Amino acid sequence: MRRYSEQWIGARLRFAPYQSEIRDRDEYWLVDGITSWYSWKAAAVVGLVSENELEREFASSYAQTLHAGGIERNLERMYQSSASRQIPSRILAPVVLIQVDRALRRPPRSTSLDSVLSEMFRGREARSLWQTLPKNDGIDWRKFRADYVQGTLVASINDILPLAPTLLKPSPPRGAPNRKVTLVFTGKTHGYLENCGCKLNQSGGIARRVTALRRIRSQDLGALLFDAGNAFVNVGTRDAPDFLTRKEESFYLKEMEGMHYDAAAVGMTELVQGIEHFRGTMRAIRVPYVGSNLTLEAGLGVASSRIIHRAGLRIGVLGIFEPPAGPRASLREANALSSMTVDDPLITLQREVPLLRKNADLVVILGSLSPVTIRRAVEVCPDVDVIVSTEYEVPSIVFGDRRATLREDDAPGFLGRTLILYTNL
């Protein structure tokens, strides 16, 4: 849908005889910005993703560009610059359009970017954006252009990414503890056998994990071991893993089997190499994967939930898959998911949590859930006890006296009475 929309919009903006031509070189950035943003909006219109989610994805991607060098941030010079145009055209330009739209919609105004662009591209020759924008609406568009189009200021996108902070204690507080359960959790390991290789505080690695598990289990035989997903090799943009990568992945998963995981969530790396690869791997190893919102006509070969009996407790586990959306989603991932149905994570939780709670003392959710989705999940299902996710990144911009800096991670802690935990090891 997005690619089709991108081609259709491109024909309208770029190619004769349909083209509504932009004559002012300083506004050429609009072609890329409109094509990128509105092709994703088309996906929102048909219900594949919400527009609010798209705004957050673009804002998040924008925040992460603060670390990137060699970017031409003046969109009016983008085509004269020798720097790569990918980030300005795919991220910076759409974010400017999002800012314009939000400014136009802010009360007491009642217009939108849609209506402005409709007026702008009415004829064969497009009007200037700055001449088409409404006058006398309290917005200094000349300053806006200098600040955000010409890149003299960092866009203030934090209002698109509002998040309630996690707390150190549950709220309202629970009673005094009368039982103890140990949770051990991993996730987003991508089949790595070695440690991370950092110069300081090296983390991860199969050998270290086995050693740590032995120590924990020697002190607590009832410790629970979970994986939040993305344990398979991350193939990235490669067509297919090579022979050695396949063997490494197979060895890694065999080691997971030997560690006796209690439950593991299905993540994107489990699916991106194809359903048959996942099924074949599941026939060769015994790792108790859980996929609560994934359905396939021929069956995926995983349970929709699990009940684990440990230390006198019944622990119910759901595995929730949140598909990539917005600019971080790839065509390869979309193709991998095209043969299955991915139910809405929140609707799935609203349906499954009450059923699981009838037979469980604790309810645990595993998955690659974004911090935004986690907060929505807690709102609709406050009865969930623990959520373990691999997706802890939620960029926001901190404005200081001299420059803006990037804050990247959501902190673990409590949202209401639900304990939120993150992992990438």
Task: Provide the residue ranges of all domains of the chain, joining segments of one domain with +.
Answer: 2-160, 183-422
Nearest to 411 by CA among 59, 187, 168, 62: 168
For tokens 């969930």, the residue is 384
Work out the angle between the directed axes of helices 275-284 and 243-259 (0-180°, nearest 10). 50
Cα–Cα distance between 377 and 383 in angstroms, integer?
A: 10
- 385 within 8 A of 362, measured Cβ to Cβ: yes
pLDDT band at 231 (very low <50, low <70, confident <90, very high): very high
- 222 within 8 A of 181, measured Cβ to Cβ: yes
User: From the centroid of its chain, how far is CA 306?
Assistant: 25
pTM of the model: 0.76
Q: Which CATH class is domain 183-422?
A: alpha beta
Burial class from Cβ neighbours inside 10 Å (0-12, 13-18, 19+) for residue 157 reads buried
Nearest to 301 by CA among 287, 312, 313: 287
Across the chain, what does the average pLDDT equal? 87
Average pLDDT over residues 83-90: 88
pLDDT computed for residue 135 by the predictor: 85
pLDDT computed for residue 241 by the predictor: 81
Q: Enter the tokens of residue 320.
A: 């929730």
DSSP state of 158: G
Residue 400 has pLDDT above 60, yes or no: no
Bridging pattern class, strands 224-227 and 183-186 = parallel
Q: Which long-range contacts does 202-209 make (Cβ < 8 Å, 24+ apart)? A: 203/425, 204/425, 206/252, 206/255, 209/259
pLDDT computed for residue 394 by the predictor: 76
Going by C-beta distance under 8 Å and a sequence separation of 6 or more, which residues neighbour residue 29?
Answer: 75, 76, 78, 79, 88, 89, 93, 96, 149
Q: Enter the tokens of residue 56.
A: 């957050």
- 155 within 8 A of 95, measured Cβ to Cβ: yes
Cα–Cα distance between 391 and 166 in angstroms, integer?
A: 15
Share of the chain above pLDDT 70, in %: 91
- 208 within 8 A of 196, measured Cβ to Cβ: no
User: From the centroid of its chain, how far is CA 398?
Assistant: 21
pLDDT computed for residue 403 by the predictor: 60
- 333 within 8 A of 306, measured Cβ to Cβ: no
Cα–Cα distance between 57 and 44 in angstroms, integer?
A: 13
The predicted-structure confidence for 89-145, as pLDDT tens digits, reads as follows 999 999 999 999 989 988 887 789 999 999 999 888 889 999 999 987 788 999 999
pLDDT computed for residue 402 by the predictor: 53
pLDDT computed for residue 310 by the predictor: 92
Q: Report CA-CA distances (Å) from 197 to 192, 200, 255, 424.
A: 11, 9, 20, 14
For tokens 């031509």, the residue is 21
Q: Report CA-CA distances (Å) from 62 to 1, 92, 381.
A: 23, 6, 31
Residue 348: CB atoms within 10 A of its CB come to 20
Residue 56 has pLDDT above 90, yes or no: no
- 172 within 8 A of 418, measured Cβ to Cβ: no
Q: Enter the tokens of residue 83.
A: 């720097």
Write the secondary structure of 276-305 as one string of H (helix), E (strand) and C (coil).
HHHHHHHHHCCCCEECCCEECCCCCCCECC
Bridging pattern class, strands 294-295 and 341-342 = antiparallel
What angle is formed at CA 53 by the lines to CA 238 and CA 143, rounded to 5 degrees? 105
Return the C-alpha torsion angle 294, 409, 151, 129, nearest 10: 30
For tokens 């932009």, the residue is 22
The predicted-structure confidence for 60-76, as pLDDT tens digits, reads as follows 888 888 778 888 999 99
pLDDT band at 199 (very low <50, low <70, confident <90, very high): low
Residue 407 has pLDDT above 80, yes or no: no
